[in-house]
Structure 1
């Protein structure tokens, strides 16, 4: 699951395109299938969204929650690919993008009535 935060006036007009770019990166780097998109957009009022100095109102936070297992190199490639593609396709500079990857053990995930360590029909690999 991916959660994206930003100032409402900046985030709302681009969220469909940003979702497409993020998903394309997840497919390319992690091998996600087309139907594996779980994005949550949190558009915030400007007065509720504090961000570091030196950033613009385009400042966007992307939190990627995933099951543990991806190599360090794979995670870094995902981060760099996101920086590059978001700038290229949407025009948000890397200085205005913050990305965090939060890993949880597979038994800490629950979906389709089971935990992640019980599922055996994923259409993608976790250990890449």
Structure 2
């Protein structure tokens, strides 16, 4: 736990994509107590025609550099921890790859601990 899905428009190089994954993972370790060895990320590139987004939402402009980050994780973290995570990811991506903070879209999906199996057909976190 957690499982991270990162989506962006195709065309960025492998180093750019790796840096995104690195920043997201380090922010989770630093801000929401994710174990350092617990890294499961899926980075997907999409053709521009299949990557649809609002050019502006809630007075936040978005460009073709928009990175969508969906993190599925155990439920129970405070709003303060979530806010710290969002900030760390946005600031980290700006520093690492020059991504504008308004082009960082993050969604958390919280699940109960028993909803995970890390292999062997076993629910490792189930009571």
- Same-fold call, TM > 0.5? yes
Are 1:43 and 2:48 an aligned pair? no
Counterparts of 1:51-66 in structure 2, within 5 Å, are 51-53=53-55, 54-66=61-73
TM-score calculated relative to the size of structure 2: 0.84
**Structure 2: unaligned runs, 5 residues or longer:** 56-60
CA distance in 2, matches of 1:27, 1:8: 27
Query: How many residue pairs get matched?
Result: 119
Question: Which SS does the other structure have where 1:99 is aligned?
Answer: strand
Aligned partner (choices 83, 106, 118) of residue 76 of structure 1? 83
In the TM superposition, what whole-angstrom CA distance separates every residue of 1:42-92 from its partner, at most 9, and x where no partner exists? 100111101111321111100000011211111111111111111111111
Of 109, 118, 122, 1:114 maps to 122
SS of equivalent residue, structure 1 residue 51: coil
* Distance of 1:47 and 1:16 partners within structure 2: 23
User: In 2 relative to 1, CA 117–111 (structure 1 residues): closer, same or farther, beyond 3 Å?
Assistant: same
Q: Give the structure-1-normalised TM-score.
A: 0.84
SS at structure 2 position matched to 1:98: strand
Spell out structure 1 runs of 4+ moving beyond 3 A. 10-13
Unaligned runs of 5+ in 1: 120-128
Distance of 2:8 and 2:20 partners within structure 1: 12
Q: Residues of 2 paired with 1:45 and 1:109: CA distance?
A: 31
**How big is the alpha-carbon RMSD for the aligned residues of Structure 1 and Structure 2?**
1.7
